[in-house]
A and B are shown apart, each in its own frame.
Chain A
């Protein structure tokens, strides 16, 4: 039943592209041209350059055009790479689970419990405003909370729960995950909320009339129909976490590694071909993950 209703609920009124508009067809190409040029020059060409440079040689001062596979061998056959990928995956799984658990309920509350559109917009804006502040500022803002003499430690000591400050709060995996959840949950809330708003409310009425209780409505109607939004949110969170280096560097105090951080470190050491090979591997892994998500959930109707 869920499958059939999913089709009905998410179907667009009429695909815009199919409407007939009497413009000369050259207009479409001219209008799309700036986007195509910008993406070509600043996305496609740079990625092609990364692939090319990943086969180049380098020494301590320059990169040398060549065709060697050493960069890949060093990346793929190093246990550090594998360990780093494992650590990055660990972050990704934890952050994904948390952002989905939090994001789903926040979106659910906004979409189904708030009755007026104005109130929805107000609460939604409240959630979005912190997103407009620099990531780094938001990371810094955890220092007064988590630091050795921070709010949490001093409160716990005053209350008498602990004698010495907890060291694991700042500069640890805990801090990294906390900051990532803080930074990325919104990327889950927005698509899920968007999908939930499109769910035909009469389906919920119908389920209730048919005798479904709140839990059954949730698991048989709302969750299946929210899957495209959850998938888009997952793609965002997974790609952001997989490529993250600044949160990992800052919040772990340099004690943990991630693939992005490994690439950033190679860049700062001017080992560009090594960084490029590493980047190609990361890109392949991320694309495979996205492809995997798209195989499970069809998000095309959302776009």
Chain B
């Protein structure tokens, strides 16, 4: 197709794609604009002046809930899930490069983890903790629940990475007398580092936004999505939109940081090699 003139098919699909992107971003940009609603403004247009009233409102101690606490819990939990996803997916990805007894059932269990409806995972972990008499908490049962969602994605990414990985680099390292650990740390790890950052990013955002799997597993303290859900049922001011803007902005910040990390690691690799 390269080098040809763009046919009508391209333009029709380009318009279709643009509409799709507008469909994805339209509602989000609306709440972004409306979060700057004036003090007297409501949940819909028109804008009644412009202010930071609702952002201030969000960070004030208020009757509706504990935004700061929920945010810091979600942040810590997201970081925990991020770290665990990177380490566990990397190890499992390495393991799956060789056939081992039980690899097929383990693989299907990981896939099942994606297919089992979230509410079931939530219910199951909640019940399990109740039956064995351990209190649910966001850092124990909630952490595990989030891992059942983040790890399979991490594992699939690692599969894709190792599928494309050229093992002759490792062979070269071994021929030069590197130990398995040296081969891993000096050859394999630097090559897959950008993908690992991607896995971590995935783990973080999956956890940061997870609602269904947190429902029965977070214990007595809310995570951010639960807090947001609580607010949707009893808050009728644009403070809800301010919350949406702040959390979305934070997600974007994390992505930009991660992409920056990938860019830097690739640049340093190019410079080194």
In the complex, the answer to whether B109 meets A133 with C-beta atoms within 8 Å is: no
Known A109-B17, A151-B30: A303·B123 in contact at CB below 8 Å: no
Among A63, A105, A243, contact of B119 (Cβ-Cβ < 8 Å): A243
B59-101 interface (Cβ within 8 A of A)? 84, 87-89, 91-92, 94-100
Among A38, A53, A263, contact of B147 (Cβ-Cβ < 8 Å): A38
Interface size on B, residues (CB 8 A): 96
Which of B31, B44, B119, B162 gathers most chain A CB within 10 Å? B119
In the complex, the answer to whether B121 meets A43 with C-beta atoms within 8 Å is: yes
**In the assembled complex, B116 has its CB within 8 A of some CB on chain A:** yes
In the complex, the answer to whether A123 meets B17 with C-beta atoms within 8 Å is: yes
In the complex, the answer to whether B97 meets A47 with C-beta atoms within 8 Å is: no
In the complex, the answer to whether A140 meets B121 with C-beta atoms within 8 Å is: no
Interface size on A, residues (CB 8 A): 94
In the complex, the answer to whether A136 meets B229 with C-beta atoms within 8 Å is: yes
Residue of B nearest to A139 (CB): B232
Instruction: Give 1 or 0 for each of B142-171: 1 = CB within 8 Å of chain A CB.
Output: 001101100100011001001101010010
In the complex, the answer to whether B31 meets A144 with C-beta atoms within 8 Å is: yes
**In the assembled complex, A83 has its CB within 8 A of some CB on chain B:** no
B211-262 interface (Cβ within 8 A of A)? 211-212, 215-216, 224-225, 228-229, 232, 240-241, 243-244, 247-248, 251-252, 255
Among B91, B123, B229, contact of A279 (Cβ-Cβ < 8 Å): B123
Query: Contacts of A272 on B, CB cut-off 8 Å?
Result: 123, 127, 130
| Distance A147 CA – B9 CA, assembled complex (angstroms) | 36
| Distance A279 CA – B1 CA, assembled complex (angstroms) | 49
**In the assembled complex, A206 has its CB within 8 A of some CB on chain B:** no
In the complex, the answer to whether B127 meets A246 with C-beta atoms within 8 Å is: no
Query: Contacts of B131 on A, CB cut-off 8 Å?
Result: 49, 52-53
| Distance A133 CA – B216 CA, assembled complex (angstroms) | 21
**In the assembled complex, A212 has its CB within 8 A of some CB on chain B:** no
Query: Contacts of B92 on A, CB cut-off 8 Å?
Result: 31-32, 34-35
Among B1, B14, B255, contact of A129 (Cβ-Cβ < 8 Å): B255
Among B97, B126, B144, B170, contact of A17 (Cβ-Cβ < 8 Å): B97
In the complex, the answer to whether B13 meets A134 with C-beta atoms within 8 Å is: no
B226 CB to closest chain A CB (Å) equals: 9
In the complex, the answer to whether A21 meets B167 with C-beta atoms within 8 Å is: yes
A19-39 interface (Cβ within 8 A of B)? 19, 21-23, 25, 27-32, 34-36, 38-39
**In the assembled complex, A167 has its CB within 8 A of some CB on chain B:** no
| Distance A136 CA – B226 CA, assembled complex (angstroms) | 9
**In the assembled complex, A242 has its CB within 8 A of some CB on chain B:** yes
**In the assembled complex, B135 has its CB within 8 A of some CB on chain A:** no
| Distance A264 CA – B94 CA, assembled complex (angstroms) | 38
In the complex, the answer to whether B123 meets A276 with C-beta atoms within 8 Å is: yes
**In the assembled complex, A295 has its CB within 8 A of some CB on chain B:** no
| Distance A28 CA – B103 CA, assembled complex (angstroms) | 10
**In the assembled complex, A203 has its CB within 8 A of some CB on chain B:** no
In the complex, the answer to whether B87 meets A34 with C-beta atoms within 8 Å is: yes
In the complex, the answer to whether A53 meets B127 with C-beta atoms within 8 Å is: yes
**In the assembled complex, B174 has its CB within 8 A of some CB on chain A:** yes
Instruction: Give 1 or 0 for each of A130-141: 1 = CB within 8 Å of chain B CB.
Output: 101111111011
- What would be 21 A-B contacts, judged by CB atoms less than 8 Å apart? A16-B162, A28-B98, A31-B95, A32-B91, A34-B88, A42-B145, A43-B113, A47-B124, A53-B127, A106-B16, A113-B9, A115-B1, A137-B243, A140-B244, A154-B44, A185-B20, A260-B119, A267-B123, A267-B216, A282-B120, A303-B159
Question: Closest 4 interchain pairs by CB?
Answer: A243-B117, A46-B124, A141-B27, A31-B95
